[in-house]
């Protein structure tokens, strides 16, 4: 049984089925379908791609124009009781600036009818490392601190599902690392986390699964490498190091699997639309040409490159 | 629900809002003092027509309530904090009820204070007997009006970001013109409900002879419908709207 079959057999925590959202004549999200399973799932896309609109529909802040969304077997918009099991941190949500951080988190706990709201708030604030500043008014917080106190409020009621829209915005590099460690710890506790971001390396480090949204449509979903494979119309760039690059270049250029070959500082940059065939042909060609291969390295296997490609196309 | 009530009260504490509320509350004192100071002492009928109907019920009551009630949801829509309340397991009425209570608990004491002080000043200054009862009647009738307007304007604040402007148009066009001059529409006027209650509570001084006022039965039914309908509309709106 492979990994994708395992995923299909699990019950999705979130199911988005053919969902669209439009505002007048502007289509913000168009016929998007995906499932979210336990673990961390990254929702990626450039600004204006429709990520926030999607999350707003999932969290019940916005109505879908078409399609259906199921969250934990229901939908919080029609069944607010589900919010006991869901923690939401939206991107542009305001906080009560006149309150202290502690009061804000405590208020959120009370609104979720947590038994001991004060103790839950103290625990939650400690987890985001904001205990020292907890009694200061939120208006005195830096942007990163605001994000942290909002995150503390998001999981103060111990939800099993966390939906976080750009939670790392405004955080400095050290805070980002702390955030990432905290989110990984929350996921390790068995929570499902759906996190949106346009900062790809953050999600690449966090998410076991990614959903790529471009222009309101789901461009790709799945494991990053699986997404990469799905983009079979996109040429791969591979850097090949060898002892006789010119000879290998002349041999490779005639292969069907090779679109172009470029000599770059003693190495070859090969563009291929069929990397499987290239993998098979490369050792054979090298042997025939008596070329010794010293390195084969994909150049664009990072999330950033896939994302850029999707946006550009 | 107490947490939402206290939060809503805190959110109504803007400096300009408090100044506006206090200024509007004090407005009826001006005609009351002028009436007393004039050479021709006003009769109860004059005060009923000018002070109670013309100033308190027509202008101070709706404007004061408009300023107090439209922000209970409007502010949260504007600063994007409403999601903090809606993304909770609370039934929507448990969000609406404390917010209405906050608006009303600001508007009711102020309109009652405005009515009591101005009516006492005017009636005692004019040496009309029963100033205390007149003041109490005016305070109760207008307080019930504030309850009704508060429910309407809280809904309006949730419905549109231009609630203040639309509310003022409603006050002057519907209540001021149609509700006064079109007989049938008096039954759909909160101001008429308040005046009817005031006259029921103190028929000696407010005999209704200055203009036609609807009966207390019709006022009670109308007030009940307005209260329930707008409370339900607010709950429904909160369920169905896209929260920014």
**Contact B242/A at CB under 8 A:** yes
Q: For A62, which of B7, B80, B242 is closest by C-beta distance?
A: B242
User: Do A171 and A96 share a structural domain?
Assistant: yes
Domain of A17, in residue numbers: 3-229
> Does the beta carbon of B236 lie under 8 angstroms from any beta carbon of chain A?
no
Euclidean distance between CA atoms A48 and A294, whole angstroms: 44
Q: Choose among A61, A81, A95: nearest Cβ to B243.
A: A61
Of B83, B89, B92, the CB nearest to A61: B83
Q: Which tens digit of pLDDT belongs to each residue from B124-166? A: 988 888 999 999 999 999 999 999 999 999 999 999 999 999 9
Q: What is the CATH number of the domain that holds A259?
A: 3.30.70.100
Final residue belonging to a domain, choices A196, A211, A229: A229
Nearest Cα to Cα of residue B98 among B210, B226, B8 = B8
Q: What is the pLDDT of residues A294-311, one digit of tens each?
A: 888 877 655 556 666 666
**Residue whose C-alpha is closest to residue B145's, from B241, B23, B43, B61:** B61
A181 and A270 housed in the same domain: no
Stretch A225-237: mean pLDDT, rounded?
67
Residues A176-205 have pLDDT tens digits of 888 889 999 999 999 999 999 887 677 778
**Which is nearest to B208 in space by CA: B77, B45, B99, B97?**
B45
A74 touches chain B (CB under 8 A): no
Q: What is the average pLDDT value for chain A, to the nearest integer? A: 87
Residue A286 and residue A305 share a domain: yes
Q: A220 and A271: one domain? A: no
For A24-74, write each residue's pLDDT tens digit.
989 999 999 999 999 999 998 888 889 999 999 999 999 999 999 999 999
Domain range annotation of chain B: 2-240
The string of pLDDT tens digits covering residues A249-265 is: 998 988 888 988 998 88
Rounded Cα gap, residues A19 and A214, in angstroms: 15
- pLDDT (0 to 100) of residue A272: 86
Please judge whether B3 and A93 are an interchain contact, meaning their C-beta atoms are less than 8 angstroms apart.
Answer: no
Report the run of H or E that residue B229 belongs to, with start and end.
Answer: helix B216-240
B14 touches chain A (CB under 8 A): no
Last residue of a domain, one of A229, A256, A274: A229
pLDDT tens per residue, range A162-178: 999 988 877 778 888 88
For residues A186 and A248, membership in a common domain is answered with no
CA distance B58 to B81: 33
Asked whether the ipTM of the predicted complex exceeds the cut of 0.90, the reply is no
- Residue A137 is given by DSSP the state B
Judged by a CB distance cut-off of 8 A, whether residue B3 touches chain A is yes
Nearest C-alpha in B relative to A82: B89
Cβ contacts of A107 on chain B, cutoff 8 Å? 3, 7, 84
Is B242–A56 a contact, with Cβ atoms under 8 angstroms apart?
yes
> Which residue out of A89, A111, A117 would a mutagenesis test of the B interface target, given it has the greatest number of B Cβ atoms within 10 Å?
A111
């Amino acid at each position: 049984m492979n990994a994708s079959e395992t995923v299909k057999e699990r019950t999705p925590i979130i199911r988005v089925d053919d969902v669209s959202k439009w505002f007048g004549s502007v289509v913000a999200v168009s016929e998007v379908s995906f499932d979210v399973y336990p673990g961390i799932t990254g929702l990626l896309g450039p600004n204006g791609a429709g990520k926030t609109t999607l999350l707003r529909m999932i969290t019940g802040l916005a109505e879908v124009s078409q399609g259906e969304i199921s969250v934990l077997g229901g939908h919080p918009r029609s069944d607010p009781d589900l919010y006991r099991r869901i923690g939401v941190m939206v991107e542009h949500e305001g906080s009560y600036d006149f309150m202290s951080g502690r009061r804000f988190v405590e208020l959120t706990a009370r609104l979720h009818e947590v038994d001991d709201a004060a103790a839950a708030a103290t625990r939650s604030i400690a987890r985001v490392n904001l205990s020292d500043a907890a009694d200061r008014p939120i208006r005195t917080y830096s942007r990163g601190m605001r994000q942290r106190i909002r995150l503390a409020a998001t999981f103060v009621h111990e939800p099993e599902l966390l939906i976080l829209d750009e939670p790392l915005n405004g955080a400095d590099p050290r805070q980002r690392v702390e955030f990432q460690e905290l989110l990984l710890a929350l996921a390790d506790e068995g929570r499902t986390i759906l996190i949106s971001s346009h900062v790809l390396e953050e999600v690449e480090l966090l998410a076991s699964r990614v959903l790529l949204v471009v222009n309101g449509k789901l461009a790709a979903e799945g494991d990053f490498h699986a997404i990469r494979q799905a983009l079979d119309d996109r040429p791969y760039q591979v850097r090949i190091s060898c002892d006789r690059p010119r000879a290998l270049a002349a041999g490779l250029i005639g292969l069907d699997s090779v679109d172009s070959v470029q000599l770059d500082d003693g190495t070859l940059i090969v563009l291929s639309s069929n990397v499987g065939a290239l993998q098979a042909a490369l050792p054979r060609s090298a042997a025939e040409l008596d070329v010794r291969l010293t390195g084969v390295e994909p150049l664009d296997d990072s999330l950033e490159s896939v994302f850029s490609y999707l946006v550009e196309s | 629900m107490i947490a939402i009530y206290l939060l809503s009260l805190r959110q109504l504490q803007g400096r300009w809002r408090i100044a506006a509320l206090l200024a509007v509350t004090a407005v009826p004192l001006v005609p009351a003092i002028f009436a007393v100071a004039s050479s021709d002492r006003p009769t109860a009928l004059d005060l009923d027509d000018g002070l109670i109907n013309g100033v308190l019920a027509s202008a101070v009551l709706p404007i004061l309530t408009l300023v107090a009630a439209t922000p209970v949801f409007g502010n949260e829509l504007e600063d994007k904090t409403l999601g903090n309340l809606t993304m909770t397991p609370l039934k929507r009425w448990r969000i609406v009820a404390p917010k209405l209570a906050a608006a009303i608990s600001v508007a009711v004491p102020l309109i009652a204070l405005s009515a009591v002080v101005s009516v006492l000043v005017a009636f005692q200054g004019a040496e009309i007997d029963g100033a205390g009862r007149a003041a109490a009647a005016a305070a109760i009738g207008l307080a019930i009006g504030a309850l009704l307007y508060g429910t309407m304007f809280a809904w309006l604040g949730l419905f549109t970001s231009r609630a203040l402007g639309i509310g003022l148009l409603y006050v002057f066009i519907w209540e001021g013109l149609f509700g006064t001059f079109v007989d049938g529409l008096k039954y759909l006027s909160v101001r008429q409900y308040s005046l009817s209650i005031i006259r029921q509570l103190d028929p000696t001084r407010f005999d209704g002879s200055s203009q036609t006022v609807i009966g207390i039965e019709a006022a009670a039914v109308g007030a009940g419908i307005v209260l329930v309908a707008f409370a339900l509309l607010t709950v429904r709106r909160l369920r169905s709207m896209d929260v920014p």
